[in-house]
Amino acid sequence: MNDTLSKLEAVLFAFGEPANVKKIAGIMDLKDDEVIKNLEELRNYYNQSNSGLSLFEHEGSYELVTSAKHSETIEKILKTEIDEDLTPAATEILAIISYLGPISRSSVEYIRGVNSSFSIRTLMLRGLIERIPHPEKANAYLYRPTADILKRLGVEKIENLPEFARYRELKKMIERNEETGD
């Protein structure tokens, strides 16, 4: 590990909470793209060196987390907040929002063919999904997975969901159909 990487590791450890690229760049006196490059290198280093740590990314913020393979051990110290089983409807909605999010409620309902407001509200209360204002429509919202559910799944970043790119392709199809459909 070179000096920059080890400094980056120390900075992330000291933060102990998600830090965005700008923040890290300011502290380390690096350019944003240099930080991103080093973050990727650190992630590779962790993945290749049998480290007990992983680098987790969500919405442009990074933090050190314990690696998935030690989950069982660390669970003895730290309880995961997301412990309940998921109902079939909850699993389906969470999958749709995780793979295709940020996504509107109407799109979720378009795919499922069933009103999903109750389940979406419950998932939000449980901290598994969060809503953000729609960038183009006033008073409308989009839903996306929270950092907590991604950590619970053991994925370091959303793109690491199994076969992410393949299922992501469906988003275009849905958007096209929703415009022409009802």
Partner 1 sequence: MPIYEINLENFSGPISKLLSLIEDKKYEIRSVDLAKVTGDFVDFVNSLSNAHPRLLADFISVAARLMLIKSRDLVPDIELTPEEEEQITDLEERLKIYQQFKGATILFGELYGKRQTLFSRPERKRKKADDKVVFLPPQNLTAEILLLNLKKSINIIEELEKRYEKYDALNLEEYIANLWDRVSGRITKFSDVASGKDKREVIIFFIAVLNLLRENKISIQQDSHFSDITIRSN
- Among 80, 134, 140, 159, which residue interacts with partner 1 (rule: CB under 8 A)? 80
Choice between 142 and 149, CB closer to partner 1: 149
57 binds partner 1 (CB under 8 A): no
How many of the other CB atoms lie within 10 Å of CB of 148?
17
Helix and strand numbers (H, E) in the chain are: 10, 5
Residues in contact with 114: Cβ distance below 8 Å, sequence separation at least 6, in sequence order: none
141 binds partner 1 (CB under 8 A): no
- Among 6, 49, 106, 177, which residue interacts with partner 1 (rule: CB under 8 A)? 177
36 binds partner 1 (CB under 8 A): no
Residue 42 CB, nearest approach to partner 1 (Å): 15
- Among 3, 29, 163, 179, which residue interacts with partner 1 (rule: CB under 8 A)? 163
124 near 145, Cβ under 8 Å? no
10 binds partner 1 (CB under 8 A): no
Q: Pick the piece of the chain touching partner 1 (CB under 8 A) from 2-10, 28-36, 39-47, 79-87.
A: 79-87
Q: Pick the piece of the chain touching partner 1 (CB under 8 A) from 3-11, 40-48, 67-75, 135-143.
A: 67-75
Tokens of 135: 């960038």
126 binds partner 1 (CB under 8 A): no
- Among 34, 92, 102, 124, which residue interacts with partner 1 (rule: CB under 8 A)? 92
Q: Pick the piece of the chain touching partner 1 (CB under 8 A) from 25-33, 43-51, 134-142, 157-165.
A: 157-165
161 binds partner 1 (CB under 8 A): yes
Which residue is it, tokens 């022409």?
180
Residues in contact with 76: Cβ distance below 8 Å, sequence separation at least 6, in sequence order: none
Beta strands in the chain (DSSP E): 19-20, 53-58, 61-66, 129-133, 141-145
**The dihedral formed by the CA atoms of 129, 108, 163 and 135, expressed in degrees to the nearest 10:** -70
Tokens of 180: 């022409």
